[in-house]
């Protein structure tokens, strides 16, 4: 038996037959060429019509042992030639990297000095030559970096650059200019491994595990895929090849594979990978042709959750860096795009919330300069998420008008300002302070609203609410674009819609702060979620029927009781407890309607 174990140990030291010790070698080249040729030949969803090329490309020619690289304008081309794009992370000193500028434009049309190119550029040129493609697109050398108009015009074409390229090469592991696409590796670690039971076994049992799906999980954690611009580059590319430190991967609308599998993975692991690809929003839209509104907006939310967790070197690029993806969705759903949101799904989209990991990775949620209106998730620095939504909903707010003012020529890019006019119910709130034991103070005339992790007694009113603030509620906003805080109640809750569940009715609401100088002007400072427990039922957060406490919220507030509204019975009682009983004229609003709603503007 021990001789068998010895044989297994020695066998595991041998690298897989189809994987070399260098990712720039022949085995990797054969894998990449095979997957590209198979995709171009057999995947209908990956074929592009109406050939298109960017304004400029890099031409690679061989002159004896030397390589000549130059910028080539494509405006006069009569034949649209095949090209490859590169996704990469700019180095710590971008000025050290050769860039296309007004000054270098003429010289670079003749020759770009190869000796100054980053390693990743050199590797991309080699990879293109291995694949038999003569033209490359690299952002720093194909966009005039010091020409604002050229940058705006070319950045508005990103969706075409990546969708029409033959493939995209991603320097997934490279953090600096000293790193490239290709790495030396010990291929033994990529081999499917075995698990041998302990010494008390009566017989030898060996279980083999396929590593492929594990490596796909690690791919998402590579440095490149935490960058904002690359989020859309990866998803827009018809075919994406990720050169990671240990493994090379292939992704398209129909396939995910790696060098380990050699092609589409089979078995249980293969099914896991195929399911992952189906869940990838952009690939789903392309391969499945989704046009149904709910599915499309679910896909957009997944994009937002992923993108909002990414980093950007220049914060004002936040809208531009996802504009290409927005264009693809616009082609599918046909809705109007406003600062990262869609008008045909606006009430649901307004209910975005700050994700908890943002507290650690993004300690300063406010941007120092204007990015987007406060009602958009784009205004928040850090990852965001959404409340789960159901099909059965009752709207409490109506959007009268929503508009943004573009900063430049791109309607999907950076904005100067944005306004949202809602006809809605406004409920005055004040924050409750906790004593040293963490308890909230409230009176018999008020209902306590808290967030997840704290407790309120069972004897309190049947309102359970969760409330998340965008940032420190006690810190005054320094940003003048939202005006200054107005006198009076500090916060107002604006219910958006209700969902009727089997036990609870959930009502997301915006938490707003009035601003000056316009009466009825607000900015968004947070979001809440009102849970209403139906009579005779147990709240879903309780562990037993006789629990003395309900587990809810992390940010307490006090809400004044109010009058009954003509709304569905299951939520009528609780909204009656939320709508202010005080004079409605005290609520800042442009106008009021007979149903008790106000017309307000959020900036």
Render pLDDT for 176-208 as a digit per residue (tens, 0 to 9).
888 999 999 887 766 655 545 555 544 444 444
User: Of residues 210 and 382, which shows the higher confidence score?
Assistant: 382
Do 265 and 249 fall into the same domain?
Answer: yes
pLDDT at 467: 52
pLDDT interval class at 3 (50, 70, 90):
low
Backbone angles phi, psi at 418, to 5 degrees: -160, 145
Q: Is residue 392 part of a domain?
A: no
Domain boundary among 284, 307, 335: 284
CA trace torsion 182, 183, 189, 190 (10° rounding)? 0
User: Of residues 265 and 350, which shows the higher confidence score?
Assistant: 350
Q: Is residue 434 part of a domain?
A: yes
pLDDT at 569: 29
Residue 254 has pLDDT above 50, yes or no: yes
pLDDT at 281: 54
Q: What is the 3-state secondary structure (H, E, C) of 554-585?
A: CCCEEEECCCCCCCCHHHHHHHHHHCCCCCHH
Q: Is residue 109 part of a domain?
A: yes
- Structural domain containing residue 482: 424-590
Do 131 and 280 fall into the same domain?
Answer: yes
Do 278 and 325 fall into the same domain?
Answer: no
Residue 387 has pLDDT above 80, yes or no: no
Residue 551 has pLDDT above 70, yes or no: no
Residue 162 has pLDDT above 80, yes or no: yes
Do 453 and 485 fall into the same domain?
Answer: yes
Do 179 and 300 fall into the same domain?
Answer: no
User: Angle at CA 375, nearest 5°, toward 370 and 377?
Assistant: 75
Mean pLDDT, all residues of the chain: 75
pLDDT interval class at 560 (50, 70, 90):
very low
Residue 103 has pLDDT above 80, yes or no: yes
pLDDT at 326: 94
Do 221 and 268 fall into the same domain?
Answer: yes
pLDDT at 544: 38
Mapped onto helix, strand or coil, the DSSP state of residue 1 is: coil
Instruction: Give the separation between CA 563 and CA 580, rounded to whole angstroms.
Output: 7
Instruction: Give the separation between CA 324 and CA 164, rounded to whole angstroms.
Output: 13
Backbone angles phi, psi at 127, to 5 degrees: -65, -40
pLDDT at 109: 96
Do 429 and 417 fall into the same domain?
Answer: no
pLDDT at 552: 28
Q: Rounded mean pLDDT of 299-324?
A: 93
pLDDT at 463: 40
Residue 574 has pLDDT above 50, yes or no: no
DSSP 8-state class, residue 592: E
Query: How long is the chain?
Result: 603
Residue 317 has pLDDT above 90, yes or no: yes
Do 201 and 338 fall into the same domain?
Answer: no
Nearest Cα to 55, choosing from 39, 36, 43, 71? 71
Give the list of residues 6+ apart from residue 31 with CB closer than 8 angstroms, or none.
Answer: 18, 248, 250, 259, 262
pLDDT at 456: 33
pLDDT at 366: 75
pTM for the full predicted model: 0.79
Nearest Cα to 117, choosing from 143, 135, 91, 87? 91
Convert the pLDDT of each residue in 358-370 to its tens digit: 555 565 667 889 9
Q: Is residue 599 part of a domain?
A: no
pLDDT interval class at 4 (50, 70, 90):
low
Residue 460 has pLDDT above 80, yes or no: no
CB 54, CB 154: distance < 8 Å? yes
Mark 400-428 as b/e (b = at least 16 C-beta within 10 Å): eebebeebbebbbbbbeebbbbbbbbbbb
Mapped onto helix, strand or coil, the DSSP state of residue 433 is: coil
Q: Give me the number of domains the chain comprises.
A: 3
Domain boundary among 262, 284, 306: 284
Lowest mean pLDDT among 146-155, 445-454, 473-482: 445-454
Alpha helix stretches (DSSP H) within 256-322: 267-279, 281-288, 293-307
Residue 116 has pLDDT above 80, yes or no: yes
Convert the pLDDT of each residue in 39-95 to its tens digit: 999 998 888 878 899 999 999 998 878 899 999 999 999 888 999 999 999 877 777
Convert the pLDDT of each residue in 476-506 to its tens digit: 443 444 445 455 557 788 889 887 654 456 7
Q: Is residue 12 part of a domain?
A: no
Q: What residue ranges in 339-410 does DSSP mark as E strands?
A: 341-342, 352-354, 384-386, 393-395, 398-406
DSSP string for 51-99: ----SEEEEEEEETTEEEEEEEE-TT-SS---EEEEE----S-GGGS--
Do 531 and 570 fall into the same domain?
Answer: yes
Do 505 and 442 fall into the same domain?
Answer: yes
Instruction: Give the separation between CA 281 and CA 550, rounded to whole angstroms.
Output: 37
pLDDT at 294: 73
Q: Is residue 394 part of a domain?
A: no
User: Of residues 452 and 526, which shows the higher confidence score?
Assistant: 526
- Centre a 10 Å sphere on the Cβ of residue 578 and count the other Cβ atoms it contains: 27
User: Of residues 251 and 486, which shows the higher confidence score?
Assistant: 251
CB 386, CB 301: distance < 8 Å? yes
Residue 209 has pLDDT above 70, yes or no: no
User: Of residues 465 and 462, which shows the higher confidence score?
Assistant: 465
Domain boundary among 252, 284, 316: 284
Do 433 and 538 fall into the same domain?
Answer: yes
pLDDT interval class at 14 (50, 70, 90):
low
Q: Rounded mean pLDDT of 334-340?
A: 94
Residue 549 has pLDDT above 60, yes or no: no
pLDDT at 402: 97
Instruction: Give the separation between CA 67 and CA 60, rounded to whole angstroms.
Output: 7
Q: Is residue 596 part of a domain?
A: no
CB 515, CB 485: distance < 8 Å? yes
Residue 416 has pLDDT above 90, yes or no: yes
Do 203 and 172 fall into the same domain?
Answer: yes
Instruction: Give the separation between CA 143 and CA 125, rounded to whole angstroms.
Output: 18
User: Angle at CA 354, nearest 5°, toward 349 and 356?
Assistant: 140
CA distances from 163 to 67, 81, 120, 167 (A): 27, 14, 22, 8
Q: Is residue 216 part of a domain?
A: yes
pLDDT at 553: 28
User: Angle at CA 542, nearest 5°, toward 540 and 547?
Assistant: 150
Q: Rounded mean pLDDT of 227-256?
A: 92
Mark 18-32 as b/e (b = at least 16 C-beta within 10 Å): ebbeebbeebbbebb
pLDDT at 344: 92
| Beta bridge mates, 68 | 61
């Amino acid at each position: 038996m021990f001789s068998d174990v010895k044989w297994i140990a020695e066998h595991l030291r041998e690298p897989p037959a189809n994987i070399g010790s260098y990712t720039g070698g022949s085995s990797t080249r054969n894998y990449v060429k095979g997957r590209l040729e198979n995709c171009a030949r057999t995947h209908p969803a990956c074929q592009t019509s109406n050939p298109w090329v960017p304004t400029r490309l890099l031409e690679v020619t061989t002159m004896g042992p030397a390589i000549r690289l130059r910028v080539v304008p494509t405006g006069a081309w009569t034949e649209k030639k095949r090209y490859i794009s590169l996704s990469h992370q700019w180095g710590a000193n971008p000025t050290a990297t050769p860039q296309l500028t007004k000054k270098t434009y003429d010289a670079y049309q003749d020759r770009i000095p190869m000796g100054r190119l980053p390693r990743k550029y050199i590797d991309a040129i080699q990879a293109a030559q291995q694949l038999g493609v003569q033209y490359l697109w690299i952002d720093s050398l194909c966009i005039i970096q010091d020409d604002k108009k050229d940058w705006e015009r070319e950045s508005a074409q990103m969706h075409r650059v990546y969708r029409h390229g033959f493939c995209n090469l991603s320097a997934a592991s490279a953090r600096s200019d000293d790193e490239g696409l290709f790495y030396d590796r010990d291929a033994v670690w990529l081999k499917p491994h075995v698990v041998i039971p302990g010494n008390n076994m009566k017989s030898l049992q060996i279980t083999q595990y396929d590593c492929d799906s594990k490596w796909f999980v690690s791919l998402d954690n590579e440095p490149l895929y935490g960058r904002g611009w690359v989020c859309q580059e990866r998803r827009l590319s018809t075919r994406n090849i990720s050169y990671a430190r240990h493994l090379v991967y292939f992704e398209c609308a129909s396939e995910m594979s790696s060098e380990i599998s050699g092609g589409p993975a089979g078995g249980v692991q293969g099914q896991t990978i195929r399911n992952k690809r189906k869940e990838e929003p952009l690939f789903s839209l392309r391969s499945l042709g989704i046009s149904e509104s709910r599915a499309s907006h679910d896909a957009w939310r997944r994009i937002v959750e992923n993108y909002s967790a990414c980093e950007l070197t220049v914060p004002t690029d936040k809208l531009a860096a996802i504009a290409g993806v927005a264009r693809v969705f616009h082609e599918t759903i046909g809705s109007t795009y406003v600062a990262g949101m869609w008008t045909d799904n606006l009430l649901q989209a307004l209910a975005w919330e700050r994700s908890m990991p943002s507290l650690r990775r993004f300690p300063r949620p406010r941007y120092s300069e204007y990015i987007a209106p406060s009602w958009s998730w784009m205004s928040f620095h850090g990852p965001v998420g959404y409340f789960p939504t159901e099909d059965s909903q009752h709207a409490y707010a109506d959007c009268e008008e929503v508009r943004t003012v573009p900063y430049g020529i791109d309607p999907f890019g950076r904005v100067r300002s944005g306004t949202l006019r809602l006809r809605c119910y406004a409920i005055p709130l004040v924050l409750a302070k906790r004593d040293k034991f963490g308890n909230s103070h409230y009176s018999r005339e008020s209902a306590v609203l808290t967030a997840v992790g704290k407790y309120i007694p069972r004897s309190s009113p049947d309102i359970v609410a969760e409330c998340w603030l965008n940032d420190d509620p006690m810190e005054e906003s320094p940003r003048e674009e939202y005006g200054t805080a107005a006198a009076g109640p500090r916060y107002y809750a604006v219910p958006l819609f209700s969902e009727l569940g089997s036990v609870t009715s959930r009502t997301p609401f915006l938490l707003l702060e009035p601003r000056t100088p316009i009466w009825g002007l607000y900015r968004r400072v947070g979001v809440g979620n009102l849970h209403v427990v139906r009579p005779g039922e147990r709240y879903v957060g309780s562990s037993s029927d006789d629990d003395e406490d309900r587990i809810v919220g992390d940010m307490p507030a006090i809400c004044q009781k109010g009058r009954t509204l003509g709304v569905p019975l299951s939520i009528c009682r609780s909204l009656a407890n939320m709508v202010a009983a005080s004079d409605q004229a005290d609520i800042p609003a442009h106008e009021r309607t007979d149903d008790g709603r106000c017309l307000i503007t959020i900036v």
